[in-house]
Structure 1
Amino acid sequence: MTQRGRKSTASREVAGLVAPVTGEQRLRVPAHLSDAEQSVWLEVVNDQPASAFSPTHSPLLEMYCRHIVNGRILADELLNFDRAWLADDDGLKRYDRLLAMSERESRAASSLATRLRITRQAVEHPTTVGRSLKNQSKGRKPWELAASDS
């Protein structure tokens, strides 16, 4: 059974010293991924604690990397899309297909990110997400004026 309530400073310091994590414990990049997919893999794996991913996460992480890279390719295609094509039906159909493919890639990547627990919502505790912003405003409400403001 775990201790209830806040953890003491001493227990947090000891927890940091108990199991130092080396770079070798991180999930390695599969050799069969493309260079762009390997780059995404490294970004994701290095952004999380070393113990966040095990070899069982590898297939989901591979799919996530592929969807991100495909989404970037489609985004580049949409950015470089010749607007003159929109004048005829074939151009509109191609543009519509690009938008649909881009949306599918985004949805797939978002779903996999949720399952891998790498979204901001999964990483940060819901009751503490806004605390850093609240501390920056020094406790004032947006509609309250400081004495120097009036």
Structure 2
Amino acid sequence: MTKRGRKSAAEILTPIRPLTDRHQPAPADMTPAQIRIWEHIVSSEPPGWFATGAHQDLLRLYCEHASSRADLQTLIDDCSAEAIACENTGAAFLRMLTVRDRETKLLASLARQMRLTHQSRYTPQAAGTAERNNPTGGRPWENNGAYISNGTSHDP
């Protein structure tokens, strides 16, 4: 049975769960490139987004694969056209492209699992509303130097 009458201030106040205002630090055994990726992703999300061990494990995998993919992309970029034309080097180049494709797909999958992508954050209805509310043309004051007078466009 509930108490009759007005509630006291103590009854009205509800305890506030303390929020963490710190981001998760990167594990110490990661490479500097992986730590930069970790810090970039963690700083772009609210504190506590990666609070569970499962999320941290996924983020660690993401950082490792993102670093590997970046290293692989550097190797691909360094290949010259003459080297690619060579039979042995050309086959190795195709293998590197295949591995890069796999790494890219794995990164996309991990990002979806950690809810880092826009698709994982919006329902189809909310995405449709955002698209409808997004103006398709430029802003009125951004008209590339042209101005309209009496319904006629004039270029300066």
From the CA coordinates, give the structure whose radius of gyration is larger.
2
Mapped to 1, the partners of 2:45 and 2:129 lie a distance apart of 19
Normalization by structure 1: what TM-score? 0.71
Q: Is structure 2 residue 35 aligned with structure 1 residue 31? A: no
Gaps of 5+ in 1: 1-16, 140-145
More RCO (CA 8 Å, sep 6+): 1
User: Relative to structure 2, which stretch is displaced further, 122-131 or 96-105?
Assistant: 122-131
Asked if the contact 1:64/1:113 (under 8 Å) is kept, the reply is yes
User: Relative to structure 2, which stretch is displaced further, 61-70 or 114-123?
Assistant: 114-123
> Offset of 1:132 from its aligned partner?
6.5
AA paired with 2:47? A
Gaps of 5+ in 2: 1-15, 141-147
> Offset of 1:131 from its aligned partner?
5.6
Instruction: Name the structure where helix makes up a greater proportion of residues.
Output: 1
Moved over 2 A (4+): 17-21, 120-125, 127-133, 135-139, 146-150
Partner SS, residue 149 of structure 1: strand
RMSD: 2.8
Asked if the contact 1:27/1:55 (under 8 Å) is kept, the reply is no
> Identity over the aligned pairs, expressed in percent?
21
AA paired with 1:40? I
Q: Is structure 2 residue 127 aligned with structure 1 residue 126? A: yes
Normalization by structure 2: what TM-score? 0.69
